[in-house]
Amino acid sequence: MTYSGGDYDIIVIGAGHAGSEAALASARIGLKTLLLTINLDSVAMMPCNPSIGGTGKGHLVREIDALGGEMGKNIDATMIQCKMLNTAKGPAVHSLRAQADKKAYQFRMKEVIENQVNLLLKQQEATEIIVENGKITGVVVNTGALYTCKAAIICSGTYLKGRIIIGDVQYDGGPNGLFPAMYLSDSLEKNGIELQRFKTGTPARVDAKTLDYSKMIIQEGDEHIVPFSFETDQIDIDQVPCYLTYTNPETHNIINANIERSPLYTGEVVGIGPRYCPSIETKVMRFHDKERHQIFMEPEGLNTNEIYVQGMSSCLPEDVQIALYRTVPGMEQVEFMRSAYAIEYDCIHPTRLKASLESKEVAGLFFAGQINGTSGYEEAGAQGLIAGINASLYLRGEQPVIIDRSEGYIGVLIDDIITKGIDEPYRMMTSRAEYRLLLRQDNADLRLTEIGHRVGLISDERFQKFLDKKEQIKEEIERLNHVTVKPTKENNEILKSFGSSEIQHGLSIGELIKRPEVKYLQTDVFDPVRPQLHWSVMEQVEVQIKYEGYIKKQLQQVEQFKKLEHKLIPQGINYPEIGGLRIEAAEKLQEIKPLSIGQASRISGVSPADISVLLIALEQRRRSSVKDVTTNE
Amino acid sequence: MEVLLQNEDTIAAVATGMGGAGIGIIRISGDQAVELGNNLFVNPKGKTLKTAKSHELIYGKIIDPETHKDIDEVLISKMKAPHSYTAEDVVEINCHGGIVPMRKILKLVIQAGARLAEPGEFTKRAFLNGRMDLTQAEAVIDIINAKTEKSLEYSVAQLEGRLSQKLEELDGTLIEILSHMEVNIDYPEYDIEEISYNFVNTQILGLLKKINEILAVAETGKIYREGITTAILGEPNVGKSSLLNTLLMEDKAIVTDIPGTTRDTIEEYINIEGIPFKIIDTAGIRETENLVEKIGVEKSKALLNQTNLVIFMRDISKALSEGEKELIELLKNRRTIYIANKTDAVSEQDLEIPAPWIPMSLLEDEGIELLKQKMLEMVFEGTVNQDADYLITNTRHISLLEVTKTSLENAIKTMDSQMPIELVSIDVMEALEALRGITGKAVGMDIIDQIFKNFCIGK
Ligand SMILES: Nc1nc2c(ncn2[C@@H]2O[C@H](COP(=O)(O)OP(=O)(O)OP(=O)(O)O)[C@@H](O)[C@H]2O)c(=O)[nH]1
Ligand SMILES: [Mg+2]
């Protein structure tokens, strides 16, 4: 028996990283939103590593922030250590990563959600979606309530038919000892949404007091913390260190001796696991000549002894896990608090989604996060935010926000999964971005704040600040290009002290900064009237000047890219009918229904010749439709 | 990307047949057409293509902008979009000087930034830009598909197959470099050795060496496209013109029983299993004169230097003359096929023809197949180039390989100026993309695949 639970504009199913962003976005845009979670204590839970960011992922968080999402602010408020990765390399690949206090992270997010107007958070398990005439109209929950809605966003993470595997011990379960969602899958399939099985795993959590850190290498955070959010000015915390240790031949012997007890090797696990997240047994088996593997100890929070043992995920039976962990220096006496496990779950085929993250099968039904076959909190958050925005725009009858590959990692992420499809959980990597030099973490605000403002997630006040910053950057670059440094003896002495070469004739400061060894800050000796600027402005000035040539080159590539992206393909096309298209290409095109020639060209199995044929067919179509119109008249 | 942006860039090609010494037109189409044409053109009165009126024919010269040397006298015109064949800006250069200057001009246009048009591409653009009738679209699709699906003639395909093996090697090295760079970038905290600029530098220099080798072969590849110049030499009346006609399967040259019929050389193109030959029928060299003296040592050497292959023909029913002996001596170090024609005119028992002479009777249609086989053999043996066992003929491929080369040179420059690794990777990536434009493989997951295959990473 169901009863009517009320009417909402948008219902978000799942309050993890995707669901939290989705629900906050739609509520902030002004739509009446219901956020359902299987357990109120699992809002924004981090069931795997206690950290946010990392290469590529840090970029995503900054983009979320630039668009008006919550993740950046949440981690800024709850981090216990922070590091800018890749500082030895160039600015395009600098990436932020912070260790989070997991509980603090959850509590803060929950509090923000609870206090958000237009948003109601409820502990109920969604069991069924109601679809009428191809449109979503409601969601039924386990307690019998039927909520009506105009749009829904499914952010069910790894909960759908979740199955936990610890060696030969296997049971239905969600992450972290929570219940799985056993019903929603069937409802999705009934409505034409095909599912596949993916798998991921997590290492054990161990008791800190059973570790001997003196045998490990301490890993400190950065002295000066760069915040994730463009709105956080600075972060002053006492940072907690991580520790590094290594496996050894003894560890590997234990694995080798027990490998037949691993369900990965007996074939009991059918889900496809990610290659970038291999279990320790996979690493040892695949790279058997590697003498040692790195293991990081990451604290799960300030008020807990739980330590996340990064590098040691495993699906071996618990007794083998304990034995192998104890071979590692500093872990001889280790006690487990939670065992390593693998989890198998249902997810959809993301090629069945539009670029807006709306289902091609059911209008008004959006998907975000791990249900789409991605992995990672940041990937989930990014999709959640976009789904939240686009569900809102859908309700308003407006065009969706589609960030393209040249505008953000979010664009790369979504375009990748909906166009190329996935055969393992998808993790963001900077190498997936073609225009990496343009998609820096330092300029995420310059790339995306305008979109955030347009949809109503960035306040006018923040937007004005952003415009000011933009102006300051422009002015300062202008100015530096007009301050000349004369080739005097003193000036050349100074340049030499920078490790730079002498100048023969006058050069602008801008020209000097182009030299790799000359820093913006150093050049103030040549610059008596330098204005006081915020560090983020100075950073932009320096990067934009120093890499100008390369940035220009990538901008040209982007221009070419955009030309193809702007060649739109009408959606009603029946590809198999196009003469001259190869069958494989026609099938793929029919499945993906690309929005543009650019997207079509990224589908694997569609060749440049197919694209030419497609262009011609489109032109034929266009002309015959023009003719039809004229003959009708 | 390169390949897909076909409809956006500026393309050029010879718009009329290349045969003979008549007038040829080089057509340039696209945004940059006028700019490109303008930079190569000088008019005695200082007129420029930029300021010229649309459809106005102006006389002038094409010069090499680097050496400032004249290439050819031309008539040039521009057709402003949309009033042109392709509905884009089009420049047409009418050349007078025959194939050689025409090719030079085309090369200059390509160097200046145009891309060599694919077969049917002007037509395709014309269609896409609305300049052509719907019914013609099918034909365009056929051309596109013909290019990708109908395989090339067997022997060419075989040679190009070996080329793609060469390219695979380059591809492999690039992927290796890139995946190592990328793993350093995306997994900075794993104990994976940082790839050093020194190492990348050496690898790239190695690649550049290989690319230069292939490009050198590409020069030879051109000979294949333009035809392997093959001269038929021999005394008057031995049957040279008859051979040309037989190879052409039509009567192009006049054949009579009067010695000395052919006065001027005749050039014709034939195609043997996909390899083009330019056959030159020459005037017979008279027995009574001192051959070397007559044509002059220098002149004969010059003639021979222009040919890639010589077919020397004698009449087997006659004794070898002194002149023929001299000529044979002259041809000793040349790629030469020796034909003993008119075997029908001698009785069986006198017919003992030692190698390398190929017995032939054009009257009875014998020996032709053997000759053709011999001609191909000579080509594949490396008649033209001793080392290369592969062939690169497609001009688009050549220009993509040039892009690969430039990008790799840029990578070296980027490293030299101490720029960070992710900028070097942009250049290397560009090189890979250009290379993939030739092999048609998409740049995508395989770098990431390599990362996971070769490096132990992941939490
Ligand atoms: N019996 C016989 N006669 C042949 C054969 N091939 C050509 N002839 C004849 O030989 C004569 C000369 O042939 P051409 O092809 O004009 O000879 P050519 O070498 O071009 O002569 P020039 O142009 O005068 O140097 C013609 O009458 C041909 O019919 C052959 O295989 N057998
Ligand atoms: Mg003749």
| Residues B420-456: tens digit of each pLDDT | 999 999 999 999 999 988 776 777 677 777 777 777 7
Of B164-178, B277-291, B303-317, which range is least confident? Answer: B277-291
pLDDT at B295 over 60: no
CA distance linking residue B55 with residue B77, whole number of Å: 6
Task: Identify the three-state secondary structure at position A154.
Answer: strand
Neighbours of A571 (CB within 10 A): 10
The pLDDT score that the predictor gives to residue B384 is 42
Strands B275-281 and B266-272, by their bridges, are antiparallel
Distance B262 CA to ligand 2 centre (A): 4
CA distance linking residue B78 with residue B92, whole number of Å: 6
Neighbours of A171 (CB within 10 A): 10
Please check whether residue B311 is in contact with residue B335, taking contact to mean a CB–CB distance below 8 angstroms: no
CA distance linking residue B114 with residue B30, whole number of Å: 9
Q: Establish whether residue B245 lines the binding site of ligand 1, counting it when its CB lies within 6 angstroms of any ligand atom.
A: no
Q: Do A418 and A507 share a domain, yes or no?
A: no
Q: Do A286 and A400 share a domain, yes or no?
A: no
CA distance linking residue B140 with residue B410, whole number of Å: 37
Task: Identify the three-state secondary structure at position A355.
Answer: coil
CATH for A259: 2.40.30.260
pLDDT band at B86 (very low <50, low <70, confident <90, very high): confident
pLDDT at B131 over 80: no
What's the whole-number mean pLDDT along residues B34-39? Answer: 92
In DSSP terms, which residues pair with A52 in a beta bridge?
Answer: A98
CA distance linking residue B268 with residue A443, whole number of Å: 64
The pLDDT score that the predictor gives to residue B428 is 95
The pLDDT score that the predictor gives to residue B154 is 39
In B, minimum Cα distance to A55 occurs at B186
Which residues from B are below 8 Å from A437, CB to CB? 422-423, 426
Q: State the Cα torsion A33-A37-A43-A47 to the nearest 10°.
A: -140
CATH for A399: 3.50.50.60
A-proximal residues of B, 123-162, CB under 8 Å? 124, 127-128, 130, 134, 137-138, 140-142, 144-145, 147-148
CA distance linking residue A412 with residue A236, whole number of Å: 33
- Residue found by looking up tokens 């083998």 in the block: A320
pLDDT band at B153 (very low <50, low <70, confident <90, very high): very low
Q: Which of B145, B429, B451 sits opposite A609 (nearest CB)?
A: B145
The pLDDT score that the predictor gives to residue A353 is 97
pLDDT band at B82 (very low <50, low <70, confident <90, very high): confident
| Sign of CA pseudo-dihedral A139, A145, A148, A152 | negative
Length of chain B: 459
Residue A472 located in a structural domain: no
pLDDT at B49 over 50: yes
Among A288, A318, A343, the domain-final residue is A343
Q: Do A43 and A123 share a domain, yes or no?
A: yes
Contact A89 B124 (CB under 8 A): no
Residue A470 located in a structural domain: no
Q: Establish whether residue B399 lines the binding site of ligand 1, counting it when its CB lies within 6 angstroms of any ligand atom.
A: no
Domain limits for position A243: 205-343
Q: What's the half-sphere exposure (Cβ side, CA atoms, 13 Å) at A220?
A: 6
pLDDT at B260 over 80: no
pLDDT band at B137 (very low <50, low <70, confident <90, very high): low
Closest-CA residue to B95 (of B83, B84, B109): B109
What is the set of domains in chain B, with CATH numbers?
11-132 (3.30.1360.120), 144-217+391-439 (1.20.120.430), 226-380 (3.40.50.300)
Strands B336-341 and B358-359, by their bridges, are parallel
Which residues from B are below 8 Å from A274, CB to CB? 458
Q: Do A211 and A311 share a domain, yes or no?
A: yes
pLDDT at B289 over 70: no
The pLDDT score that the predictor gives to residue B356 is 86
Residue A558 located in a structural domain: no
pLDDT band at B73 (very low <50, low <70, confident <90, very high): confident
Q: Which residues contact B224 (CB under 8 A, 6 or more apart)?
A: B156, B275, B276, B379, B391, B393
To test ligand 1's pocket by mutation, which of B237, B248, B256, B257 has the most ligand atoms within 8 angstroms of CB?
Answer: B237
Q: Do A547 and A603 share a domain, yes or no?
A: no
Please check whether residue A20 is in contact with residue A110, taking contact to mean a CB–CB distance below 8 angstroms: no
Query: What percentage of residues in chain B have a pLDDT greater than 70?
Result: 73
Closest-CA residue to B33 (of B74, B83, B92): B92
Q: Do A373 and A258 share a domain, yes or no?
A: no
Please check whether residue B393 is in contact with residue A63, taking contact to mean a CB–CB distance below 8 angstroms: no
pLDDT band at B393 (very low <50, low <70, confident <90, very high): low
Q: Do A52 and A176 share a domain, yes or no?
A: yes
Q: Choosing among B122, B132, B184, B186, which should be mutated to test the A contact, i.e. which has the most A CBs within 10 A?
A: B186
Q: Which residues contact B186 (CB under 8 A, 6 or more apart)?
A: A55, A56, A429, A430, A431, B451
CATH for A619: 1.10.150.570
* CA B96 to centroid of chain Cα atoms: 21
In B, minimum Cα distance to A623 occurs at B134
Query: Residue B356: is the preceding peptide bond cis (ω within 30°)?
Result: yes
Ranges of chain A whose pLDDT falls below 70: 264, 266-273, 276, 626-633
Q: Which of A93, A431, A580 sits opposite B448 (nearest CB)?
A: A431
Q: Do A386 and A446 share a domain, yes or no?
A: yes
Q: How far is A119 from chain B (nearest CA, A)?
A: 36
Closest-CA residue to A330 (of A309, A352, A301, A355): A309
Contact A553 B144 (CB under 8 A): no
CA distance linking residue B118 with residue B3, whole number of Å: 11
Neighbours of B255 (CB within 10 A): 18
In DSSP terms, which residues pair with B315 in a beta bridge?
Answer: B341
Neighbours of B384 (CB within 10 A): 19
Tokens, residue B300: 């004969």
The reply to whether ipTM tops 0.95 is no
Closest-CA residue to B397 (of B228, B273, B211): B211
Please check whether residue B166 is in contact with residue B435, taking contact to mean a CB–CB distance below 8 angstroms: no
Ranked by mean pLDDT, which of A291-300, A560-569, B286-295, B379-388 comes out on top? Answer: A291-300
Contact B445 A611 (CB under 8 A): no
Q: Which residues contact A189 (CB under 8 A, 6 or more apart)?
A: A195
Buried b (16+ CB within 10 A) or exposed e, A55-75: bbbbbbbbbbbbbbbbbbbbb
Residue A223 located in a structural domain: yes
Q: Establish whether residue B100 lines the binding site of ligand 1, counting it when its CB lies within 6 angstroms of any ligand atom.
A: no
CB-neighbour burial class of residue A9 (10 A; exposed 0-12, middle 13-18, buried 19+): buried
In A, minimum Cα distance to B123 occurs at A616
* CA A509 to centroid of chain Cα atoms: 38
Domain count for chain A? 4
Q: Do A351 and A449 share a domain, yes or no?
A: yes
Of A445-449, B47-51, B129-133, which range is least confident? Answer: B129-133
pLDDT at B71 over 80: yes
* CA B59 to centroid of chain Cα atoms: 29
Length of chain A: 633
Residue A465 located in a structural domain: no
CA distance linking residue B40 with residue A446, whole number of Å: 42
Q: Do A572 and A549 share a domain, yes or no?
A: no
Q: How far is B418 from chain A (nearest CA, A)?
A: 7
pLDDT band at B388 (very low <50, low <70, confident <90, very high): very low
pLDDT at B102 over 70: yes
DSSP-assigned letter for residue B26: E
| Sign of CA pseudo-dihedral B164, B169, B170, B172 | positive
Q: Do A12 and A138 share a domain, yes or no?
A: yes
A310 phi, psi to nearest 5 deg: -70, 130
Query: Residue B82: is the preceding peptide bond cis (ω within 30°)?
Result: yes
Please check whether residue B228 is in contact with residue B155, taking contact to mean a CB–CB distance below 8 angstroms: no
Please report the DSSP string for A184-246 in residue order: HHHHHHHTT--EEEEEEEE--EEEGGG--GGGSEEE---SSPPPSSTT------PPPPEEEEE
Which residues from B are below 8 Å from A276, CB to CB? 452, 457-458
CATH for A525: 1.10.10.1800
The pLDDT score that the predictor gives to residue B224 is 55
The pLDDT score that the predictor gives to residue B163 is 73
Tokens, residue B25: 């037109």
Closest-CA residue to B168 (of B195, B203, B224, B207): B207
Q: Establish whether residue B241 lines the binding site of ligand 1, counting it when its CB lies within 6 angstroms of any ligand atom.
A: yes
Q: Do A193 and A219 share a domain, yes or no?
A: no
A615 phi, psi to nearest 5 deg: -60, -45
pLDDT at B301 over 70: no
pLDDT band at B303 (very low <50, low <70, confident <90, very high): low
Contact B459 A430 (CB under 8 A): no
One-letter amino acid of A480: L
CA distance linking residue A605 with residue A591, whole number of Å: 12
DSSP-assigned letter for residue B366: B
Which residues from A are below 8 Å from B457, CB to CB? 276
Question: B258 or A106: which carries more pLDDT confidence?
Answer: A106
Which residues from A are below 8 Å from B124, CB to CB? 612, 616
The pLDDT score that the predictor gives to residue B447 is 75
The pLDDT score that the predictor gives to residue B299 is 52
| Sign of CA pseudo-dihedral B77, B82, B84, B90 | positive
Residue A99 located in a structural domain: yes
Q: Which residues contact A150 (CB under 8 A, 6 or more apart)?
A: A9, A10, A136, A137, A364, A395
Residue A171 located in a structural domain: yes
Q: What is the strand order of the sheet B58-63 is part of? A: B41-42, B58-63, B70-79, B90-95, B24-29, B11-14, B115-116
Residue A471 located in a structural domain: no
Contact A620 B137 (CB under 8 A): yes
Of ligand 1's listed atoms, the one at least distance from the Cα of B364 is: 31
> Which stretches does DSSP call E strand in A71-168?
79-85, 95-100, 119-123, 126-132, 135-141, 145-154, 163-166
pLDDT band at B1 (very low <50, low <70, confident <90, very high): very low
